[in-house]
Chain A
Amino acid sequence: MSIEIADHVRDIPRSGIRDFFEIVQTMDDVISLGIGEPDFATPWHIREAAIYALERGRTGYTSNLGLPRLRRSISDYVRKKFDVRYEPLSEILVSVGVSESIDLALRALLNPGDEVLYHEPCYVSYAPSITLARGVARAIETRVEDGFRLTASALEKAIGPRTRVLMMNFPTNPTGATMTPADLEEIAAVCIRHNLVVMTDEIYSELTFDEGRHTSIASLPGMKERTVFLHGVSKAFAMTGWRIGFACAPTELIEAMMKIHQYAILCAPIMGQDATIEALERGDESVAKMRNEYQMRRNFITRALNDMGLDCPKPKGSFYVFPKISSTGLTSREFSMRLLNEEKVAVVPGTAFGPSGEGHVRCSFATGLDQIKVAMERMAAFVSRVSSTKP
């Protein structure tokens, strides 16, 4: 028999990243700038704390919302870093990565047909997560001229009668875009006027450079009560494999998200939760070290890309650069495929992050400097070859 798949799942297109990953998998000696996770192992003091917790036999389920001690740590950390106060026992939920929290929040908020806006190019899961929650995904294109920031006018234009939620991700994967407090105030005003809920994925917030302080939209007046603040330890603390994220939101929404979470997942793994307590309470120095390293690599890679003739602004956050490659006369996909085949360097076509990523590729600098250096030499050779044969 042939098994029938639910329409809304069947109709989700295959991920562009997955396609590309499968091609890269078949090749040897590829230098990959296509990796969206830190190249550092989790700092030793965090790993060691997790080992100690295991030694003490901490291996069971936890409260559905997460260990109370961890939720207190999260509350303190968020207050200190983002200037918003959340009640540890009722306004915080610990999830399996931020990805799970996004899914929970969307499922808790949306009735079939409700619209969710998100800015594009963006992380690959947003649109499918909305669709899976029976919502309607509406992309707002951001433009290179605006530094890929979301503008209030573009937002205003996209809002329709069924728009319920705005999803944001600053610093942005893949563009590295950041928002100033003034930008956020304008967005906040529009959200309040149109009564939108804001889901803000701030997973890269610790990785902002040049002493630029990150501001969360949740900290602006009138926003906490309509915001789902999403964050986790994966990127800043190099803890991707531990799968710990968290959502901070008004009690009634956390309660609703918990209903789904308790039946679908029960709780996030306790090992990750114990490690996260150590990370949030004593991880500042480790994060600062890694941030400094990323910042130096960012300087290196942006200069190298600009030197080879690709227009690449210096991102103020995340560990991605998003150079413009249209000057080569190739599409994002052609550029990425040929670079892979001819020079064995993997970058991700901008279109994997939505149609508005055309003309760009994403290069991650969460890779050792030695590798970045060789990758840049090969890429420079490729660009000069392609540009000289351009019709």
Chain B
Amino acid sequence: MDAIIDLLQQNALMPRADMARLLDMELEEVESAIAKLEAEGIVLGYQAIINREKYDTDKVTAIIEVKITPERDGGFDRIASRIAKFEEVQSCYLVSGGYDLLIVIEAANLRNAAAFVAEKLSTIEAVQATATHFRLKTYKENGAFHLFESVTERLSVSP
């Protein structure tokens, strides 16, 4: 199971027949193992990693630190899920340290991003403070490099 998850994380599109050969399993075994991972909610979905330097370059990504007042019942969970439900929010984490939630948002342009912070996020009663960091350039995302290492030139045949 671990090996299948590793392969899915490296390349979710890998043909299942290739996975079977790599893991020395039967195709049906691989297919049913993946179906089980999906059914159990271990695999939540599959996404493409887009190089934003090359596509949709106007799109804005921001990382926002959010300080919130926890509630007596439920602590951070209800407010966090309220924030996470906004379409702009791509990721939302409860973190240790100087603030409580770290959220990653995507917006069509700078104006929309600013509007989200000013009008939606900051106006939630439990939100005490926010600090917004805009992405300037991406070097690595979900384990994939946007700036590649040079390809090693190996001898074409060597002992």
Contacts and interface: CB of A to CB of B under 8 A. Distances in A.
A138 interface: no
B22 A300 contact: yes
B40 to A, nearest CB: 24
B24 A303 contact: yes
A24 B159 CA distance: 14
Given A41-B149, A41-B152, A34 B158 contact: yes
A125 interface: yes
6 contacts: A21-B158, A32-B157, A34-B158, A124-B159, A125-B159, A373-B18
B158 A369 contact: no
A288 to B, nearest CB: 12
B33 interface: no
Interface in B116-159: 149, 152, 154-159
Interface in A31-61: 32, 34-37, 39, 41
Contacts of B154: 35, 37, 39
From B22, B24, B156, B159, name the one whose CB has the most chain A CB atoms within 10 angstroms: B159
A297 B22 contact: yes
Contacts of B157: 17, 20-21, 24, 32, 34-35, 346, 348
A25 B156 contact: yes
Nearest to A32: B156
B23 interface: yes
Contact of A299 (B24, B149, B156): B24
A304 B156 contact: no
A40 B21 CA distance: 21
Contact of A21 (B24, B149, B155): B155
Given A299-B23, A299-B24, A303-B24, A346 B18 contact: no
B156 A346 contact: yes
Interface of A: 15, 17, 20-21, 24-25, 30, 32, 34-37, 39, 41, 123-125, 173, 292, 296-297, 299-300, 303-304, 346, 348, 352, 369, 373
A303 B159 contact: no
A176 B146 CA distance: 37
Given A35-B155, A36-B159, A173-B159, 4 more contacts: A24-B157, A35-B156, A297-B22, A299-B22
A284 to B, nearest CB: 18
A39 B154 CA distance: 8
A344 to B, nearest CB: 11
B25 to A, nearest CB: 9
Interface string B19-40: 0011110000000000000000
A125 B158 CA distance: 12
A369 B18 contact: yes
Contacts of A24: 156-157
Nearest to B150: A41
A20 B156 CA distance: 10
Contacts of B21: 299-300, 303-304
A203 B124 CA distance: 62
A24 B155 CA distance: 10
Nearest to B151: A41
Closest 5 CB pairs of A and B: A34-B157, A296-B22, A21-B157, A299-B24, A300-B21
Contacts of A123: 159
Interface in B39-69: none
A300 B155 contact: no
Given A35-B154, A41-B149, A303-B24, A15 B159 contact: yes
A36 B159 CA distance: 5
Nearest to B6: A292
A35 B158 contact: yes
A296 B159 contact: no
Contacts of B22: 296-297, 299-300, 369
